[in-house]
Structure 1
């Protein structure tokens, strides 16, 4: 079974890929900014570890921080 997106026009496929990559890069920048904020808050005891976990869950990033715990999820 073929799971790839099927776009027959190479120019359209390239435009879709460029748009997707732009979105991915902007999402990565946003996530990096959020991580820095949380890092500083935790480092300076402005939030608890439980609050960090809750925020990571909201961001959908628990699997990035705790990959060994998320394998069976």
Structure 2
């Protein structure tokens, strides 16, 4: 399989993968923190449902909450 973005040097490829995984992990921790804050504010009536929908849309997570909208136009 020859992918045009494939790195042929195994050591460089491994370093790129590790860097990508560290980035993915840090983003997931950030997203978990954002979700927690939004959830607490919604539970304590500090945010309305429409405000939460707006925040979810900004985070690109609206489809996760409303999967029936995925791919809908």
TM-score normalised by length of structure 1: 0.89
What per-residue deviation string (whole Å, max 9, x for no partner) do you get for residues 41-62 of structure 1?
Answer: 0001111000000000111111
Match of 1:14 in 2: 14
Match of 1:24 in 2: 24
Whole-Å separation in 2 of the counterparts to 1:57 and 1:35: 12
Q: For structure 1, which segment, 7-16 or 58-67, has the greater mean C-alpha deviation from structure 2 after superposition?
A: 58-67
Q: CA deviation at 1:72?
A: 2.8
Q: How does 1:31-50 map to 2 (within 5 A)?
A: 31-50=31-50
Return the offset for 1:24. 0.3
Structural RMSD (CA) = 1.8
* Correspondence for 2:60: 60
How many corresponding residue pairs? 73
Q: How far apart are 1:4 and its partner, in Å?
A: 6.9
